[in-house]
């Protein structure tokens, strides 16, 4: 299976049918952060990137958000920051 054309979570796993897509409002409620802080963290590579599902809509993967919630921000950045920054440079930031 050519996995390059499929969405992957931060751990590199292809997104399966059980993965939930979260909208921005859900992410803000789950994480207890403001919209401005969400974008600040995303721009710094300290928060999971969103995924475009249409030209007007972006979602986050529940598994990525749960991973972020389980780690403190600095540890998350140390583990995934470079990967997120590389994705942002390659695709442009989405949200």
pTM here?
0.85
The full length of the chain comes to 95
d(CA 14, CA 67): 16
CA distances in angstroms from 22 to 2, 39, 88, listed in the order given: 26, 16, 19
* Tally of structural domains, the chain: 1
Question: Range of 60's domain?
Answer: 21-81
Q: Is residue 63 part of a domain?
A: yes
Q: Is residue 8 part of a domain?
A: no
> Given this model, what pLDDT does residue 87 score?
83
Query: Is residue 46 a contact partner of residue 82, using CB atoms and an 8 Å limit?
Result: no
- The packing angle between helices 35-44 and 24-31, to 10°, is 90
Residue 23 has pLDDT above 70, yes or no: yes
Token pair 């991973």 is at which residue?
67
Q: Is residue 68 part of a domain?
A: yes
> Given this model, what pLDDT does residue 90 score?
76
């Amino acid at each position: 299976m050519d996995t390059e054309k499929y969405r992957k979570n931060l751990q590199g796993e292809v997104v399966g049918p059980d993965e939930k897509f979260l909208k921005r409002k859900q992410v803000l409620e789950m994480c207890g952060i403001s919209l401005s802080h969400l974008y600040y963290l995303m721009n710094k590579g300290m928060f999971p990137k969103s995924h475009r599902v249409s030209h007007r809509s972006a979602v986050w993967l529940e598994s990525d958000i749960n991973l972020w919630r389980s780690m403190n921000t600095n540890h998350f950045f140390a583990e995934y920051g470079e990967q997120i920054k590389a994705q942002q440079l390659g695709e442009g930031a989405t949200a």
